[in-house]
Amino acid sequence: MTLIEIQNVREKLLADLDAISGAPELEAFKLAHLTRKGTIAAMFDELRSVSKEEKPQAGKELNTLRQSVEARFKEREEELGATGGHEEHGRLDLTMPARPVSVSTPGHEHPLMKTLNEMIAIFERMGFAVENGPEIEDDEHNFGKLNFPPDHPARDMQDTFFVKPTPDWTPTSKDQPLLLRTHTSPVQIRLMERQRPPIRAIMPGRVYRNEAASARSAVAFFQLEGLVVDKGVSMADLKGVLLSFARQFFGSDAKIRLRPSFFPFTEPSAEVDVSCYICGGKGCRVCKNSGWLEILGSGMVHPNVLSACGIDPEIYTGYAFGLGIDRTAMMRYGVSDIRDFFENDYRFLEQF
Ligand code: PHE
């Protein structure tokens, strides 16, 4: 292999490159000359048999050959639009049909919304209107008017996320703390401030609690609040509505039981359990052998709450209840980790 030979090969390859008119030819050129098994690599191998005296010069010539061929190759690649992905996959074909979606049920309701919508439909049939309120609340609506006195330990029942309108904001004595609502009960207050009895409404929405996330509790979850205020409303009405709801939602033999409880905004207050829909009350793993599942908090609206909203508690009475939608959906579908609802893993969501 002489210097002249090397120069001749260089001229030839550059001329060949110039003559190429399409991406497939260019690809063939690359395979023949520029890969590890190509002509240029073979010439480098031949260097070994070149005499000691000529070796440095020949090496230099070979490097020039490789560099100039590679440079010209790149230019041609750009000219022919054969760079990057196109080189491997051919040109983009806009007429190709789209890939079929691989899931069996593309696009359907999220299990939480499915549960919520079913609940809403049941309450609507019983004459309840649907109301909404803001997720960023003030202290007065989330606590104050719900009869949580300032500094009362009841406020510790709910760990709260406070909100600052701007990073350097500090409340003055006139300002109320802003917070992410810890329950849907402030929507009761907003409704009673605005509307005179009779009131019969449900208030679904997202709520927030500053708790460590675990399989049983998430920092954001959904509740559905119910409120009825009128003349002569009693605890028996509450029980009737909740039993009817339980039968429509959990099945016609569902039973409910009320246990005494405490909430600052209701008096008396009751925790409501529904008979376990899995074992029918005999006891199983889901109900931890008790036969009952706790589904909601409820009670008669506290007279202080009615007064705070300008409704005369001597004339009107009311009941309220609040249930957790995530918990209910978990029970219903046998989901053991609440976080599954928020991760949006298609393999999970597809099952509903
Ligand atoms: N707001 C209560 C809670 O979040 C639930 C509740 C609503 C209790 C209405 C009684 C009446 O725990």
The Å distance, Cα 141 to ligand 1 centre, comes to 14
SS3 82: coil
The Å distance, Cα 296 to ligand 1 centre, comes to 8
SS3 230: strand
Q: Tell the residue nearest (CA) to atom 9 of ligand 1.
A: 321
Q: 205 CB less than 6 Å from ligand 1?
A: no
Distance between CA atoms of residues 49 and 43, nearest Å: 10
The Å distance, Cα 49 to ligand 1 centre, comes to 91
Q: Tell the residue nearest (CA) to atom 6 of ligand 1.
A: 322
User: Among the atoms of ligand 1, which is closest to the Cα of residue 269?
Assistant: 10
For the domain bounded by 111-135+182-346, which CATH number is listed? 3.30.930.10
User: Among the atoms of ligand 1, which is closest to the Cα of residue 185?
Assistant: 1
| pLDDT per residue rounded down to tens, the chain (352 residues) | 888 999 999 999 999 999 998 888 998 999 999 988 899 999 999 988 888 888 899 999 999 999 999 999 999 988 887 665 444 556 788 888 887 766 665 677 899 999 999 999 999 999 999 999 999 999 999 999 999 988 866 566 558 888 887 877 776 767 778 899 999 999 999 999 999 999 999 999 999 998 888 888 889 999 999 999 999 999 999 999 999 999 999 999 999 999 999 999 999 999 999 998 888 889 888 788 999 989 999 999 999 999 999 999 999 999 999 999 998 998 888 888 899 999 888 888 888 8
Distance between CA atoms of residues 275 and 46, nearest Å: 88
Sequence ranges of the domains in the chain: 3-87, 111-135+182-346
Q: What is the pTM of this model?
A: 0.69
Q: 147 CB less than 6 Å from ligand 1?
A: no
Q: Which residues contact 314 (CB under 8 A, 6 or more apart)?
A: none
Are the C-beta atoms of 55 and 47 separated by less than 8 Å?
yes
Distance between CA atoms of residues 234 and 316, nearest Å: 10
Distance between CA atoms of residues 230 and 317, nearest Å: 6
User: Among the atoms of ligand 1, which is closest to the Cα of residue 157?
Assistant: 12
Distance between CA atoms of residues 207 and 329, nearest Å: 16
Q: 297 CB less than 6 Å from ligand 1?
A: yes
User: Among the atoms of ligand 1, which is closest to the Cα of residue 323?
Assistant: 5
The Å distance, Cα 43 to ligand 1 centre, comes to 84
Q: Tell the residue nearest (CA) to atom 10 of ligand 1.
A: 298
